[in-house]
């Protein structure tokens, strides 16, 4: 994952309420999250592998160029600091931020050992590992599509609890 991942993953969901009506918020959030996961699990690795096949240094070159184009502006830095101060003041937001950070960390740990487990313990080949990530991405798309109807039926709190238990 690139250096801009943190900014992107926090900015995209934060902008959604500004862009859609309240009635469409759950559906839009589901689309943002599932698109992010599909991009990270399918598109990014496929593009990185293709660039590497062309030239081993090309993925790093492309990422460096993208980071140079997306340099953080002074205004954005101020907004980030304002967001951090707000998070420190508001206990509900602080708990959610800590929970999200822990979820991200545990996901990173899982992904780090997952390949070792699949290849070494199970004895699967590279293709099987690729298929597992494809299934993960497709499941993310399905979850994103089901978010709005599930939230309408069971409410946001129950959806969060079930997602935490399943994920």
Read off the pLDDT of residues 44-90 as tens digits, 9 standing for 90 and up: 777 777 787 888 888 888 877 777 776 655 576 777 788 788 888 88
Is pLDDT at 91 greater than 50 in this prediction?
A: yes
Percent of the chain scoring above 90 in pLDDT: 1
> What pLDDT does residue 12 have?
63
Percent of the chain scoring above 70 in pLDDT: 81
CA separation, residue 12 to residues 4, 15, 32, 64, 161 (Å): 12, 5, 7, 21, 22
Is pLDDT at 3 greater than 50 in this prediction?
A: no
CB-count exposure of residue 113 (10 Å: 0-12, 13-18, 19+):
exposed
Is pLDDT at 109 greater than 50 in this prediction?
A: yes
Q: How confident is the model at residue 153 (pLDDT cuts 50, 70, 90)?
A: very high
> What pLDDT does residue 166 have?
75
**pLDDT average, residue stretch 97-117:** 75
**pLDDT average, residue stretch 19-27:** 80
Nearest alpha carbon to residue 1 among 41, 55, 29, 33: 41
Higher pLDDT, 64 or 150: 150
Whole-prediction pTM value? 0.46
**pLDDT average, residue stretch 83-98:** 82
């Amino acid at each position: 994952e690139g250096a801009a991942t943190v900014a992107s993953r926090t900015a995209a969901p934060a902008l959604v309420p500004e862009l859609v009506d309240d009635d469409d918020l759950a559906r839009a959030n589901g689309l943002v999250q599932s698109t992010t996961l599909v991009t990270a699990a399918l598109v990014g690795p496929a593009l990185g592998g293709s660039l590497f096949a062309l030239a081993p240094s090309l993925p790093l070159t492309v990422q460096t160029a993208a980071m140079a184009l997306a340099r953080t502006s002074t205004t954005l830095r101020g907004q980030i600091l304002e967001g951090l101060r707000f998070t420190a003041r508001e206990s509900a937001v602080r708990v959610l931020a800590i929970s999200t950070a822990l979820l991200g960390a545990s996901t990173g740990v899982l992904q780090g050992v997952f390949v070792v487990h699949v290849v070494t313990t199970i004895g699967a080949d590279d293709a099987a590992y690729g298929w597992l990530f494809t299934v993960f991405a497709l499941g993310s798309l399905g979850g994103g599509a089901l978010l709005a109807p599930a939230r309408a039926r069971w409410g946001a709190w129950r959806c969060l609890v079930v997602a935490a238990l399943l994920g």
